[in-house]
Amino acid sequence: MLVGKHAPDFRMLTTKDANTLDHQAALADYRGRWLVLFFYPADFTFVCPTEVLAFNAATTAFGERNAELLGVSTDSVHAHVAWMEFHIGNLDFPLASDQTHDVSRAYSVLDDNGQAARALFLIDPQGVVRYEVVHDDRVGRSVDEVLRVLTALQSPSRTFAQFAESAAA
């Protein structure tokens, strides 16, 4: 389990610059902001496009919470670009390629077939994992639930005594 620990570092090629495909994302790029790091099995699959498009539709809501999105699969950046060009359209966040499987292994989400599991990590502005979840490949994630958890993690924590005091007032 990674919750409460520093997130494993990474460096991966992304689709951020679709013209050159030479942009590399690193964990350090997200310091000072929350990172919604989500893994998915593969481009051109059944569940993945609905999730990726749902995350894309919520980029403004994530931005309002000082959070950025980074989608990761073990497919190449060329496959990501083809998927966007021929199937899902342009995205407002990058997709990263973990062809080496190093990042999927570091986050313990690599399956026996060499694909990333359907997993999600919320990483705080200091680089600490605050939330992780892995879903069955057949079950998509709820973006609303991710936003709810992110909002809760960003809320100031209150003790039970503080909560009882405010409820009594």
167 falls in which pLDDT band (50, 70, 90)? low
Q: Which residue has the higher pLDDT, 98 or 22?
A: 98
Positive or negative, the CA dihedral 67, 59, 102, 113 is: positive
Contacts of 155 (CB under 8 A, 6+ apart): none
Q: How far is CA 155 from CA 16, 42, 65, 66, 97, in A?
A: 30, 34, 11, 13, 32
pTM of the model: 0.89
Residues making up the chain, counted from first to last:
169
169 falls in which pLDDT band (50, 70, 90)? low
Tens digit of pLDDT for each residue in 108-146?
999 999 999 999 999 999 999 999 999 988 888 899 999
Tens digit of pLDDT for each residue in 35-74?
999 999 998 887 767 889 999 999 999 999 999 999 999 9
HEC readout, the chain: CCCCCECCCCEEEECCCCCCCCCEEEHHHHCCCEEEEEECCCCCCCCHHHHHHHHHHCHHHHHHCCEEEEEEECCCHHHHHHHHHHHHCCCCCCEEECCCCHHHHHCCCECCCCCECEEEEEECCCCEEEEEEEECCCCCCCHHHHHHHHHHHHCCCCCHHHHHHHHHC
| pLDDT for residue 114 | 93
Tens digit of pLDDT for each residue in 25-38?
999 999 999 999 99
> Average pLDDT for residues 73-93, to the nearest whole number?
92
| pLDDT for residue 23 | 87
Answer yes or no: 48 catalytic. yes
Catalytic residue, candidates 25, 35, 48, 119? 48
Has residue 102 got a pLDDT over 70? Answer: yes
CATH topology of domain 11-168: Glutaredoxin (3.40.30)
Q: CA 93 from chain center: how many Å?
A: 10
